[in-house]
A and B are shown apart, each in its own frame.
Chain A
Amino acid sequence: MRLTRITRTGGGLTQAPAPAGLPGAPVAEGAPPKRARRQLPFRRSRSQLLVLAPSFLLLGIFVYGFIAYTIRVSLSKWQGVAPTLQIEHPLGTTFKALAQTARFQADMRNVVIFTVLFLLLAILAGLVLALLVHDTLIARGLFRSVFLFPYALSFIVTGVVWRWIFTPSTGANLILDKLGIHHGPKWITDPTVVGDVSKQLDAIIPGGHFIQVKLGIPLAIIPVVIAASWQLAGFAMANFLAALSSLDPQLREAASLDGAGWWQYQRRIVVPLLWPMMVAIGVILAHVSLKSFDLVYAMSGQGPGFATDVPGIFVFEQTFRALRWNTGAAASVVMFVLIAAVVLPYLYRRTVKEAR
């Protein structure tokens, strides 16, 4: 019983500590509290629909309308300055060409690796910070602000500064040099891809040589993961803190009466209770990561041999530099599907299943 209550409080709190304009806000919107819905069913109140109508209309045009238009463009022949929506034959030629583009294959590899590493690091760092700050007796507000501040920075600022730090001959390596490590890592200039499995995959995928890039972990992406986690760990921490403050203090007393130490209490009681919040943060951060553009653009750009290129940069360059509107739109559709694959199951569980 307690667990389910905490679950819901935890999820609802997603928006509570977040600054305005946070991408998390719409998530919570989809799940109005149960009680409110029971009291005010929409069918009983036309005025409610009227109130909602403008936002539905705007959403309809500026979100659904443009999504539909993007899908339409991705199936067209539109390249160059003169727009044309003439359909390509055979249908989906652009998508097929996109799948065979070496750069886009590298982008897909990078965005998956980036998202996985970034989620692990940001959530872990956020959790550790939250547990430490929560148990700190003095200056809790100060620490909270200090760790949350990076989140207030623009990604461009973060990107430029971290680029300086991770430029081999001028940045962090100078410190390593003083410590006696004379040939430090090459950081964002390292073109190495470790753990290449493309040969094994090529053997499985029919049709011969399809994968044109090394499918592994590009080392240059790790500094970008560090920068992104530095920026967003504070956001994860704030959410964890909110969830932590909703925990019943008696839990701790009960645990210590049963002989549980600090570590056991955190691991066996707190972390399981924080799990729903962890999932919520994971979904928000995953969609930030999947559509990332500005941080990577400012920090490493496409990187050596596309080692840090992401779909967002690809879309921008194909659309506005190369004027391949159909290719840019097709890549956007792929990004859209990726994000939907992360967000939809979560929202489905949060709203439809819990309503039952």
Chain B
Amino acid sequence: MKRTRPLAGALVVGSVLALAACGGSSSSPGGSAGSTGGGKNLEVFSWWTSGSESAALKQLIDAYKGASSGAKVTNGAVAGGGGGNAQAILQTRLQGNNAPDTWQTHPGDAIKQYVDAGYVTDLQSVYAKDGLTKVMPKALVNAESTNGKVYGVSTGAHRGNVLWFNKKLLKAAGVAEPRPGYTEDQFISDLAKLKAKGTTPLCVGAKDPFAAPQLFENTLLGTVGPDKWNQLVAGKLAWTSPEVKRAATTFTRLLPYADSDASATTWDQATKKLATGDCAFESMGDWAYGELTKDGVREGTDFGYVPHPGSNGSFVMVVDTFVVAKNAKHPDAAHKWAAVIASKAAQLAFNKDKGSTPVRTDVDVSSLPPYQRQAAKDFRSNTLVWSIAHGEATSPQFQQSFYDAVTQFMQSKDVNAFTQSLSSAGA
């Protein structure tokens, strides 16, 4: 009897650990996804699973299959907006030396982290062969490069700083339609007019962690302009400087006009509200365009768009990029993939479905809808800056702290504490 006690004790400890571990161990994310087994399957790893995303991905895969006969592709897409889940699985596979041949990531710090850790190979040969550096913006190629070598091929650029508006609501409230050159002050006075009419002036999908930071980011760009923006993200201008404080103050002036349901609304619900006439404005990246047309409203008659107030002439880039694994199982196929997705035809087909802009500046976009033609024109002529809210401009660590700081700021409205927390956010 007595001898069984230690065993019983062990069982007790075992049970409690088993219970606790269900929520406890974060370092053991679930197994690998997608088959990696044999054959000449090129494995493409992404987080494109929603309707327009997977349609766009299929365009790339079809283009690749068309270019290399008999090729097969394993589509290792992992669901989850923003790639949180995909990131978890990719991380496990990289550590297990079981990398996919090619995977989706962002330019900037995200690529650099893979380069520094030695997971990806450079794509100099792809760029040299097709002269890609000449037909892609310098800011983009730089963000994909480390030590003079380029490591990623981008598929398309979304624009982050777009202000969408419901034309009928503006007209009913007697508000003139915003035109490029719209200022923050005009914006705030228009919001006030709408509110006086009983219309919800501004939709924010704050249930999604990125949406409020997106609004702040656009306000920041509208206040400080692209040059100071680049100094900020490069660490050459302090987050506690007066310009940032001014942007933060403007942001607090916008908040009273936000939909009172904001924190229970996702970005796509917020966009739908704009479509159905439940709110007049939304500051959101141009993935909202696909959502609006899906909701059955028409560009020009029902809704319009303008660069976010004060940010005319700047284009906030939200870009997806593919990298090739250093120890890819099919290195030749992976290089081929990189070359194909950079081709003019694949760029056009992909972006038509995705709603973004081809990153190649020599693609003929005349077959795209009016909004996308305008975005392509701006992409080729505007000052390009990288998004903070979507992780291109800074490290993922900073990005998360940026989100958390904005969430707290929306309640505290304490400008000094906010800029202080941004300046210590990189740690």
Measuring CB to CB, which residues of chain A are less than 8 angstroms from any residue of chain B?
A: 23, 26-27, 29-30, 37-38, 41-43, 59, 62-64, 66-67, 69-70, 73, 79-83, 102-103, 163, 166-170, 186-189, 191, 287, 290-291, 293, 300-306, 312, 315-325, 328-329, 331-333, 335-336, 339-340, 343-344, 347-348, 351-352, 355
Contacts and interface: CB of A to CB of B under 8 A. Distances in A.
Contact of A67 (B25, B117, B118): B25
15 contacts: A30-B14, A37-B4, A42-B7, A83-B95, A103-B408, A167-B265, A168-B261, A191-B263, A300-B263, A319-B88, A320-B87, A323-B113, A335-B24, A339-B16, A351-B11
A320 B94 CA distance: 14
8 tightest A-B CB contacts, nearest first: A291-B23, A305-B411, A322-B400, A82-B117, A336-B24, A26-B15, A66-B25, A339-B20
Contact of A188 (B264, B400, B401): B264
A355 B26 contact: no
A70 B24 contact: yes
Contacts of B172: none
Contacts of A67: 17, 20-21, 24-25
Contacts of B404: 103
A301 B207 CA distance: 6
B9 interface: yes
A41 B2 CA distance: 10
A302 B410 contact: no
Contacts of B209: 301-302, 317
Nearest to B207: A301
Contact of A81 (B15, B119, B208, B262): B119
A328 B400 CA distance: 12
A52 to B, nearest CB: 9
Given A30-B14, A322-B396, A293 B23 contact: yes
A189 B408 contact: no
Contacts of A23: 19, 22
Contacts of B262: 189
Given A63-B14, A83-B95, A189-B260, A321 B25 contact: no
Question: Which among B9, B16, B22, B28 has the highest number of chain A CB atoms within 10 Å?
Answer: B16
Nearest to A73: B27
Interface in B49-104: 82, 84-85, 87-88, 91, 94-95
Nearest to A283: B19
Given A23-B22, A287-B19, A287-B20, A324 B408 contact: no
Contact of A82 (B14, B84, B113): B113
B305 to A, nearest CB: 25
B381 interface: no
Chain A contact residues: helix, strand, loop or mixed: helix
B412 interface: yes
A339 B113 contact: no
Contacts of A168: 260-261, 264
A218 B151 CA distance: 47
Contacts of B82: 321
Contacts of B411: 191, 304-305
B407 interface: yes
B241 interface: no
A305 B399 contact: no
B407 A305 contact: yes
A198 to B, nearest CB: 14
Interface size for chain B: under 10, 10 to 19, 20 to 34, or 35 or more residues?
A: 35 or more
A336 B84 CA distance: 23
Contact of A66 (B9, B23, B27, B208): B27
Contacts of B29: 320
B128 interface: no
B23 A323 contact: no
B24 A339 contact: yes
Contacts of A324: 397, 400
A42 B16 contact: no
Question: Which among A59, A80, A187, A355 has the highest number of chain B CB atoms within 10 Å?
Answer: A80
B88 A320 contact: yes
Given A168-B260, A189-B261, A321-B84, A351 B12 contact: yes
A27 B15 contact: yes
A293 B22 CA distance: 11
Contacts of B5: 352, 355
Contact of A323 (B7, B15, B260, B397): B397
B18 A59 contact: yes
Interface string B103-141: 000000000011011110000000000000000000000
A343 B16 contact: yes
A69 B26 CA distance: 10
A189 B207 CA distance: 10
B176 interface: no
A233 to B, nearest CB: 21
B263 to A, nearest CB: 4
A318 B84 CA distance: 11
B3 interface: yes
B24 A302 contact: no
A290 B116 CA distance: 38
A355 B261 CA distance: 55
B12 A291 contact: no
A28 B180 CA distance: 68
A348 B8 CA distance: 10
A319 B29 CA distance: 10
A318 B95 contact: no
Contact of A302 (B28, B114, B407): B407
Contacts of A59: 14, 18
A81 B117 contact: yes
Nearest to B91: A81
Interface string B399-422: 111001001101110000000000
A322 B25 contact: no
Contact of B16 (A66, A322, A325, A340): A340
Contact of A329 (B27, B265, B397): B27
Given A304-B411, A324-B397, A167 B23 contact: no
Contacts of B117: 80-82
Question: Which among B113, B209, B261, B401 has the highest number of chain A CB atoms within 10 Å?
Answer: B261
Nearest to B110: A81
A29 B87 CA distance: 36
A69 to B, nearest CB: 5
Contacts of A66: 21, 25, 27-28
Contacts of A166: 264
B88 A80 contact: no
